[in-house]
Amino acid sequence: MPASYAYLGPEGTFTEVALRTLPEAATRELIPMVSVPATLDAVRSGEVEAAFVPIENSVEGGITTTLDELVAGSPLMIYREVLLSITFALLVRPGTKLSEIKTVTAHPAAQSQIRNWMKINLPDVVWESSASNADGARLVQEGRYDAAFAGEFAAARYGLTALETGIHDAENAQTRFVLVGRPARPAAPTGADKTSVVIWQRDDHPGGLRDLLGEFAVRGVNLMLLQSRPTGQGIGNYCFAIDAEGHISDRKVAEALMGLRRICLKVRYLGSYPRADIGVEDVRAPLPGTSDEEFVTAADWVARCQDGRF
């Protein structure tokens, strides 16, 4: 297996920074790709070991390209997630003053984070979109724009200076990234894990979605994310990407997935992996009756009943 990771490029973006927070990234060749589909195709084709892409942004929502790639095509699995707080720096060529800025650029997604700051600090400046924040920085270096919003880490790469750092409209703005590979045994449970699946409903009736969620609820499994995506069969047809607390090796999660598999038209397993938001010490105690031990005890009791030994 090639010791390389593909990631959504170009170099110098938040994605690269997030990827480098993974210890194993230091020992891989990191290959920037031009798009999310291209990044995931690289892992599907076996060209790289894994792919690293953004999947969700706390301001913008789900990264639909990533979700749709995971939902369709040959199966992939998520092995890790990374949360990165997103704040911007205003990068200029050395010597440029704030008052001299007439044009700024950044990826369109940056707008939701810098809009208010711009209104106050750069009210008369012309905004133009660039293909990525890193590309915006490059265009400033080339003199096409006076300033770019990008991660502070991009300054050094493009020979720019940060006039301002920590720019953000929304507190707690974060992006979630995932490390995706071909199907293999999930990482061992850490005690603070999550499990991702995509489900397609068998039919549509009052209570249908409630009953699907009931497969988790009745076993005390908490949901972290429910994201609908169109199936491509026309308005009104959706599948649901679900993140649930726990690991597929947890009895309650395994039984809930079995339940979904039975009553859904289709279920796609996307992996079980360590949570990036909290550690083991912050995981809530299971509801009464839903610990692994209680599942084992109950299964043992039923087996004894089946044998008449109780």
Site for its own copies in 66-85 (CB under 8 A): 75, 77, 83
Q: Does 249 bind its own copies (CB under 8 A)?
A: yes
Residue 112: CB minimum distance to its own copies, A: 9
The closest alpha carbon to 229, from 54, 70, 57, belongs to: 70
Q: Does 297 bind its own copies (CB under 8 A)?
A: yes
Per CB under 8 A, does 298 bind its own copies?
yes
Greatest distance between any 2 Cα atoms in the chain: 86
Among 156, 228, 279, 280, binds its own copies (CB under 8 A): 228
CB of residue 92 to its own copies, shortest distance in Å: 26
**82, two tokens:** 């990374």
- Our CB check for its own copies shows the closer of 29 and 277 to be 277
CA distance 163 to 247: 45
Shorter beta-carbon distance to its own copies: residue 3 or 305: 305
Residue 113 lies near its own copies (rule: CB under 8 A)? no
Place of tokens 């083991």: 280
Q: Which of residues 33-62 bind its own copies (CB under 8 A)?
A: 56-62
Residue 214: both structure tokens together: 């009931």
Tokens of 39: 């990044």
Region of 3-11, 95-103, 143-151, 286-294 interacting with its own copies (CB under 8 A):
286-294
Q: Which of 118, 119, 123 is nearest to 106 (CA)?
A: 118
User: C-beta of 34: minimal distance to its own copies in Å?
Assistant: 12
Shortest distance, position 182 Cβ to its own copies, whole Å: 9
What whole-number distance in Å separates Cα of residue 199 and Cα of residue 260? 8
DSSP state of 73: S
* 202-221 binders of its own copies (CB under 8 A): 202, 204-211, 213-221
Measured CA distances, 139 to 94, 128, 147 (Å)? 14, 11, 9
